[in-house]
Structure formats: structure tokens, C-alpha cells
A and B are shown apart, each in its own frame.
Chain A
């Protein structure tokens, strides 16, 4: 069997060790003096050539400031009782802004004491003016962590602040007391949106006296979630105006390029920024690690995973608390399994290694967080789920198995390792993916680049409409009112036509017997999560939750679903009931979905280029179907079979940028259309990655497809490494290759229904995008094409004709005519 093209890592000898049964690991006694700096030295000595860049950040001293003079004496005493006798400089700065009534955003690194920046003003205003505060956290878990601090300050000083968490778990009888008497209410955007704003009259007392609004983890509010939150905050402000309140907003963010812009966009008001941290920091080293080349022709390197495992084993064996970040749930499970084979082979001992990701149940996650904090776990393997501020204590070593896709994401994860007084080590292991290799070749890009901008599009029409509905439910709209950037009377007239609003004189009233907030999910995908139910031996246990977008790719019947590295097989999927029934299995393989995407152009907003080579952006209809799956053996990565999948198509309208070339142009340039098609697939690969880089977006924010623009066929890479034309069900449409009209088109589409505003700016960047993609493919060190330029390919000898890289170059050059 030829090596699977989708997994160039199949040839990786580094993985072979994982396939063989392990001898129980020698119990390396933890050396109490060994620290992360020693490990860094050892790695550099042993693996010098693999380390393409090393950055040492010296320990940083603390910069202090005194308490503000006007600080309430009881509050100051409470802080002193908690061991806080003065503030870091940035804390003082933030507190000064907030107490002067200026909205402020704090964007300092992880563990710099951000929460005090908002606890202090909130407490001060409560003590001196009797003002209330609203805290918003993206998740319940984060809320609990941050409030623990506050509660201790409050208790230490007997400050009398009544703090309440108001979320889905708050019992009904407690809710009224919270609304009436809560001084500080901690909640999340979803609850504010569905549970508080639509019932604002019950919160009248709270809103009338609201002095401070805190929004933590600001950087998570990007894209769809951020666009929704901006609208929820528009609704909040509208209601606060009704009650005559004008609170000060304090926002906290991890490192992003544009904290002021994002904060100002969310709250629609100017914001002061505090960016310099005054907190101390132990010395930190960062290694950029590129796995060794094992096949120069194919541009194949050893897998990132093999290198990650190597570093993780050394770290854990040295007794260093270690976190490994993987970029997918599957990868998380696989790495967990391998590490557990090494360190948790003895079932009589408590486990040292654990996996952590979104699908686990909340209780399970809380348990792991606790074990990490108290040190009973040595190593955790996580998806981005632990990137946020969940309190897991300080760790020594952080390993990134592959570039997470964004600069901010990488730094956020790396920030997980680092203590105030101990050295820490971060290792970014490059995978064979294009962006990873781009960074390995241009370390300065990563090390010096400004982190990404977090973008929101609060006026995205679908999102805006949903919130205009919700807002109309909350308070009637009146003529002359503003809400968002689109023409409000038109939106209201539309809703009137829909029968949910009634216009009477100068106002629009909600008239439908429905509760619009319940129909809007702030995190996108209104359809809710799937529950995974273990039915092994007549059991009926809910073991995990999976969101809709990943369900189609992970829960089809026959899929192997990995949980805590234990394989379960999906027996039955109830799509409408959102349930997957699984049984424990001993399968030695995992499954990988095969999906096809079809695009149809609905409308072009702008068009450039020539009659033969055009570039445009506009609206498209996307249909995605999971047609089957591959079975892949653990360890060897052999493809050992296929299975069919029957699931509903996922459809959406969104915006896209596309490049289209005519058959005339292609027939003059290429000896055969097959080669041209191969070139399109390679060009699409390069364009997609460079687009993510230039837009400073996540790779997944864009979808890519090669099709004909009218939804007839789409091109995929077949098992022979060549492009082939397929229908939505995977049927071969190869005859279209010879049709008189042949217009292959590369699409990069915004991966959110309705689009979140990525396509238009990308169209404006089309010149630079093509130039960069061209130089990327032209200057790649490989011979015929590799995952770092045009995607994984077979050598030309196995393909006949032009090498994949040359074909892609030719297509990109023709596209340049479209500028």
C-alpha cells in the first residue's frame, strides 16, 4: 500500500517507538534542583540542529506603585490582610483610569495580576458610592476561579459585598434574591443575553445602581462570538440608558494587536489601554523546533508528534510539570494515549498524565484542574480548552505540538508555563503544515510579529437582525433610535413584515408570542450540542458533549470516538435528537472523515482582472457532505479500510474571494487539463495558508475549495495524488475535464454562515496575497512540492508530467493577470 498522502507522517521513524509495546518506564526520581533551564540546555546539546531559533527572556523585576490615596481604608486593610501591601504599576494605572470614570482595557501577559485591576475599582465604588458591578466571563469555570479571589478580599475586610453567580446552574429560588440584593453579579454573555436582558425589569434595582462592568478574557470575543457580544452589549447599553445608568467598563485581554480597538468596538466608546506589565517574571526560554527531514524528495519531516513526545517524556521524567497543547481533539487523545503508555502503565498507581478537552464533562474537567493545581498530575495534554485563564497553577514546561494557527494563540498557550521565581521553557514544535514551516524558516515572523488583530463584525446582517429582534422584545424601538450600523428603520420594517413587530405611531412593539433570545446562540451554530452516550453492556451514561460543527466529522456511525485515549465506536447517531450511542471497543485504529465541498457563486460584489483571468469577491452557497471515512491504524498510520457515511448536508450562504481562469488560457499554458487541475489544488493550498497569515486569522476561519463556480463539480486530491473531479457524493465526474467549458476556480470562503467580514479585506489584499504565495511556492526548498508549499504530493515520477509545484506556480502566475 502506498503511503497515505494525507498523512506524510506515516513514514516517520520517530513514531515507530510508539507502536511497540513499552517497557515500563524507569521511575526517574524527580531531581528537586532540576529546573526547566536545565532541560533547555540538555535539549540544545542533544538536538542542536533541530532547534531553529532560541529566545531567552530574562527574568523581569517587579515595578511597584502605592495604593491610590482615596482608597477606602477598610478595602486597603483587606488587601493588606491578604498580603497585598502595594500594587504593580499596571494595576495602579488601570485602577486610576477606572476610578476616574474612564473605560480601560488591560492587555498584559498571563499571570500578571489582572483580576485585581478590576476587583479594586469595583470594590472601591461599592464601598464609597454603593455602586453595583457586573462581571462577564466567557465560561462558568473562569468565573468561579476569578471570583474566589474577590471573595477572599471581601471576607478578609468584612467589606459586606454580596457577590452572586448568576448562570444556568443558579437555582430558581436564589434568583430573586440575587436580582434584589446582589452587589456584584458574575455571569456569562449567554446568560446576560437569554436570562437577564429579556427580564430587565426584574433587575431594575441592579441596573439603576450599576457602576462597573467587567469583561474579562476579551480576546476570546472575536469572530462570531465577539460580533454577538458586541450586540448583546448594545442591548445592555440601551437598557442602562432606560434606567439612567452609565457604568465604567473595565476589560482584560491576553496579548492581541488591537486591544483598544476591540474593546472600543465592543462597547462603542473610547477606551484607555494599559499594556506594560509591572509584574515580576521568572526567566523563560523559547525553542522553535523543526523535526528532522526524513525524505528530501517529498519534503517529509519526522512528525511533530514524535518530537513532542520526546520532549514531553524528558520533561516529565525530570519531574517538571508539563503541559502539551495539540491542535485537535484527535491529536490530544493520541498523544495522551502514548504518554499514558509510558507513565501510567501501572494501573495500581494514580495516573500522572491526563487529557483535557472540550468534550469532557464539566465535573471531570474540574477534577483535572484541581489535580493540576495541587500537583498530583505531572502532565496534561490539552486542546485550546486550557488556553484560557482556567486556574491550573503554574507549570514549568509548555510544548506546542504544531503552531496553533495564530500568533496570539501561540503566546497564550506558551504563557501557561512560567512562574514568578522559577525558569520556564516553551517549545514550539513545527509540524509539516505550511504555516509551521513558514515560521520555522522565518522565526522572526513569529518572534517579532505583532500578534493578530481580533476582528469582529457586529453589523453582520444575520447577527445584527437577531439582536434587533431581541432588543425590540426588551424595549420598544422608537423613531430616531440607533442600533448598529445598518439602517434601523429598514430592519424594523422587515421584522414588521415578518410579523414579529407592530409599528404604532413612532414606535415598534414586540408582538409575537415567542422569546427571541432563546433562538440565538452567541457561539454560533444555533443547533445545540450532541451528547455522546455509552451504551456498552446496557449502560446509559453520558460521557461527552460534541458541538454541532464537529459532530458531522467525529460522530458518524462507525466512527471511532476517543475519550481519555479509550476508543469507543459509534453504533448509532440520532441526528435530530442530537445523540450518539457508542460502545467501548478494542479497535487498534482511528477514523478520519472524508468530506466533499461544493460551491456555487450567487452574486459578485466586485470583480477585477480580465475576461480570461478574473478575481472577485461576493456571495456563495456552500454545501458540505461527509461521504465516508478512512480507518487508520495507530502507530503505523496505515490506511486499513473505508466506510460509508450518511448524514444530512451542511449548507450555508457566506462570502468568498475567488480566482477563475478560462479553458482558453489554461489550454495555451498546459499540455493537459489534468496538470492544470493539479496546479489549482496546489495553488489553493498555498493561497489558503497565506490568506490566513495575511488576514491574521485562523486557518479554519477560511474554507477552501476548487470547483467550477456553478456547483457542478469540485476537485479533490485522489489516492494517486492527482486532482479528480467529484460530485457531492464522491462520484467521479472526470468527463467534465474534457468539456468545452472548463473554468476551474479557487475559492477561499468565510467559514461562518453569512460571513464575518473576512472576504472583502482579503479581496483588497489580493495583490500581496498572490505575490506572497508565488514567492512561497517558488522559494520552497523542496524539489517537487511538499506540505510547506503546495501540500503533500507524490513525486513526479509517480505522476507523470509536470511536478505539482511547477503546475501550481504556473496557475498562480496566470492568476496574477487577474489583479
Chain B
């Protein structure tokens, strides 16, 4: 029973004494504990500034914007970003400046209304650079600002480019916009989801169709020290719960790497270029 007593105490410390009207806090917790489970420990609070840790700026309370620009000669493996204007592929716009690359980091894969996109990265080709903007929420309160920032970024003639965004990122963002009673700025935009065309073209012989696998096989690019995407939820959780910046910069880097890989992989969609895993590796 000592655990329960400790839980009761902890609960009482955090939220003050039990309300006079309702049932005693401790008693309820004890009843629940006995009926089913055990408690988890929560850490101390205390938060370093997130913007600094991510080398970004706070554009609204709790919302951090991280901006990066990559010169067009930047290569992902053997493919330079500069090749984007030459891409001729189904779904890819004649004017590559219309492409809006999108990738999210979320609180999990469960789907439904209980999953949040806490980091959203957008990429856009400029005349002299490939620009990335990432918005990161320091807490749930910043979600409306994040969604607002996304909406401000979208142009009417944009073409979305994503990897698996049709079944994952876009429905999730649509849910978030709906939860905040905001119109979904992405709804109705043309959307090139690279996952299936890349898989059709290059998937044969690959162990799976993940972005990282294609990136290695098709672009010949192996990421160094890349944080697996699956660890992103835990990284944000650690920040929320304990105020630890921890792996958040790694997640941001991973998100940028995904966006760059998408931009490069667009050049491997068309029929004119014959790139096989073998030639990619040679290069």
C-alpha cells in the first residue's frame, strides 16, 4: 500500500488538497489503483528555451520556426537539387516552383483525433535555393498558431509533394484543422504522393518501400546518425513532460532530411532517366 500512499501524496501536492465537495482525491486514486493498475512517475518541470536549442525563432507564443536554405548544387547522394526544374513526370508540375514539399512529425501512429502533428516541415524550391521551414510546437497551446502559419504558407496553385502523405500526413492535418474549426488549406490541392510511383519504379528487389530505403538504393545516399522516425513521439513527450530538449534537434534534422530526400527523389520518377539501384550506387 506504500505506493498508493505515495501516489495519493503526489497527486495532492500537484493539484492541491482534494476539493471539499467531491470524493477525496486519495480515496478515488486508491480505489482505481486497487481495481486495476499502477502509477507512472512524472519528472520535474523546468524548461530551457526551445527556439535556441533548435536554432530557430519564436514567431508566436510557443511556436518555433526553423528556417534553412540549401543551395541548388546541394546533393542528396548523387542527385543535386538543381535538377528539379528538369523533372517531367506524371503529377509533377511544369513549373517546379509550385511544388510544396510536406512532412510531419507526430505523437504517434494511432490515428484518429488523439494524434497531433507537433512538427511540420514545408519545402519549396526558390530561384536560387531550396528553402525549408519547420514549425515546432512547444506545447498544445501553440497548435492553432502552427496551423495558422501553415495556412499562410499555402498558395492557391501549389502542388503538394509528400511521401505517404495521402494516407498519413494530410488526413492527420485535416483532422487538426477541423478540431480548431479552421478550413483545411491543403484540401483540394493537387497532391503527388511519391510513395507509390517510386515503389513501382524502383521497388523491385528492395526489402521495403520506406523513404530511407529508396534514398539509399536510388540516390545512393546513406544518412549519418539519423534518428529513426519512430522515436519522434517519445522525443516530444520527453520535452512536454520533463522539459528536456533531448532529441528534438535530431528529430528536426530527420524531418529536413526527409524533405530533401523527397526533392531529390522527384528526379527519379520520370521515364527519361534510367536510374537503377546499381547505377545509383556506382554514382
Q: Which residues of A come within 8 Å of B, CB atoms? A: 198-202, 204, 461-462, 465, 472-476, 486-487, 489-491, 493-494, 496-499, 502, 504-505, 507, 509-516, 602, 619, 653, 753-754
Q: Does B140 lie within 8 Å of A498, measured CB to CB?
A: no
A-B contact pairs, 21 of them (CB 8 A): A199-B113, A199-B175, A462-B36, A465-B36, A473-B113, A474-B113, A487-B25, A490-B15, A490-B22, A493-B14, A493-B25, A494-B29, A497-B10, A502-B240, A504-B240, A509-B140, A511-B107, A511-B240, A514-B108, A515-B111, A602-B34
User: Does any Cβ of A come within 8 Å of B18's Cβ?
Assistant: yes
For the complex with contacts A502-B240, A510-B114, A513-B110, 8 further pairs of A-B residues with Cβ separation under 8 Å are A199-B175, A202-B175, A475-B113, A487-B21, A487-B23, A509-B140, A514-B110, A515-B110
* CA gap between A475 and B21 in the complex, in Å: 26
- List of A residues within 8 angstroms of B22 by Cβ: 486-487, 490
Q: Which 3 A-B pairs have the closest CB atoms?
A: A513-B108, A487-B22, A473-B114
Residue of B nearest to A476 (CB): B140
Contact residue among A465, A474, A489, A504 (Cβ-Cβ distance under 8 Å from B141): A504
- List of A residues within 8 angstroms of B37 by Cβ: 498
Q: Does B40 lie within 8 Å of A497, measured CB to CB?
A: yes
* CA gap between A365 and B16 in the complex, in Å: 57
**Max chain B C-beta neighbours (<10 A), residue from A201, A472, A507, A516:** A201
- List of B residues within 8 angstroms of A505 by Cβ: 141
- List of B residues within 8 angstroms of A511 by Cβ: 107, 237, 240
Given A489-B15, A490-B25, A493-B25, check contact A198 B174 (CB 8 Å). no
* CA gap between A494 and B14 in the complex, in Å: 11
* CA gap between A490 and B35 in the complex, in Å: 16
Given A511-B240, A513-B108, check contact A200 B113 (CB 8 Å). yes
Q: Does B40 lie within 8 Å of A465, measured CB to CB?
A: no
Q: Size band of the B side of the interface?
A: 35 or more
Residue of A nearest to B241 (CB): A502
User: Does any Cβ of A come within 8 Å of B204's Cβ?
Assistant: no
* CA gap between A753 and B175 in the complex, in Å: 36
Residue of B nearest to A197 (CB): B113
Q: Does A493 lie within 8 Å of B15, measured CB to CB?
A: yes
* CA gap between A473 and B240 in the complex, in Å: 17
* CA gap between A493 and B40 in the complex, in Å: 12
Q: Does A475 lie within 8 Å of B28, measured CB to CB?
A: no
Q: Does A475 lie within 8 Å of B179, measured CB to CB?
A: yes
- List of B residues within 8 angstroms of A502 by Cβ: 140, 240-241
* CA gap between A201 and B181 in the complex, in Å: 10
Bitwise, B160-201 to A at CB < 8 A (1) or not (0) is 000000000001001100110000000000000000000000
Q: Does A486 lie within 8 Å of B23, measured CB to CB?
A: yes
Q: Does A198 lie within 8 Å of B113, measured CB to CB?
A: yes
Contact residue among B107, B179, B241 (Cβ-Cβ distance under 8 Å from A513): B107
* CA gap between A504 and B14 in the complex, in Å: 13
Q: Does B42 lie within 8 Å of A497, measured CB to CB?
A: yes
Q: Does A507 lie within 8 Å of B114, measured CB to CB?
A: no
- List of A residues within 8 angstroms of B240 by Cβ: 502, 504, 511
Contact residue among A198, A491, A494, A497 (Cβ-Cβ distance under 8 Å from B114): A198
- List of B residues within 8 angstroms of A512 by Cβ: 108, 114
Shortest CB–CB separation between residue B197 and chain A, in angstroms? 21
* CA gap between A753 and B35 in the complex, in Å: 8
Q: Does B11 lie within 8 Å of A513, measured CB to CB?
A: no
Contact residue among B114, B115, B178 (Cβ-Cβ distance under 8 Å from A204): B178
User: Does any Cβ of A come within 8 Å of B86's Cβ?
Assistant: no
Contact residue among B28, B39, B110, B114 (Cβ-Cβ distance under 8 Å from A487): B28
- List of A residues within 8 angstroms of B40 by Cβ: 497-499
User: Does any Cβ of A come within 8 Å of B57's Cβ?
Assistant: no
- List of A residues within 8 angstroms of B11 by Cβ: 490, 493-494, 497
Shortest CB–CB separation between residue A655 and chain B, in angstroms? 11
User: Does any Cβ of A come within 8 Å of B109's Cβ?
Assistant: yes
* CA gap between A507 and B140 in the complex, in Å: 9
- List of B residues within 8 angstroms of A514 by Cβ: 108, 110
* CA gap between A498 and B171 in the complex, in Å: 28
User: Does any Cβ of A come within 8 Å of B32's Cβ?
Assistant: yes
Q: Does A497 lie within 8 Å of B7, measured CB to CB?
A: yes
* CA gap between A204 and B141 in the complex, in Å: 23
User: Does any Cβ of A come within 8 Å of B229's Cβ?
Assistant: no
Residue of A nearest to B42 (CB): A497
Given A475-B113, A487-B28, check contact A497 B23 (CB 8 Å). no
- List of A residues within 8 angstroms of B85 by Cβ: none
Shortest CB–CB separation between residue A521 and chain B, in angstroms? 15
User: Does any Cβ of A come within 8 Å of B148's Cβ?
Assistant: no
* CA gap between A512 and B114 in the complex, in Å: 8
Bitwise, B242-270 to A at CB < 8 A (1) or not (0) is 00000000000000000000000000000
Contact residue among B23, B28, B34, B175 (Cβ-Cβ distance under 8 Å from A494): B28
- List of A residues within 8 angstroms of B15 by Cβ: 489-490, 493
Shortest CB–CB separation between residue A621 and chain B, in angstroms? 9
* CA gap between A490 and B11 in the complex, in Å: 9
- List of B residues within 8 angstroms of A602 by Cβ: 34
Q: Does A513 lie within 8 Å of B32, measured CB to CB?
A: no
- List of B residues within 8 angstroms of A513 by Cβ: 107-110, 115, 233
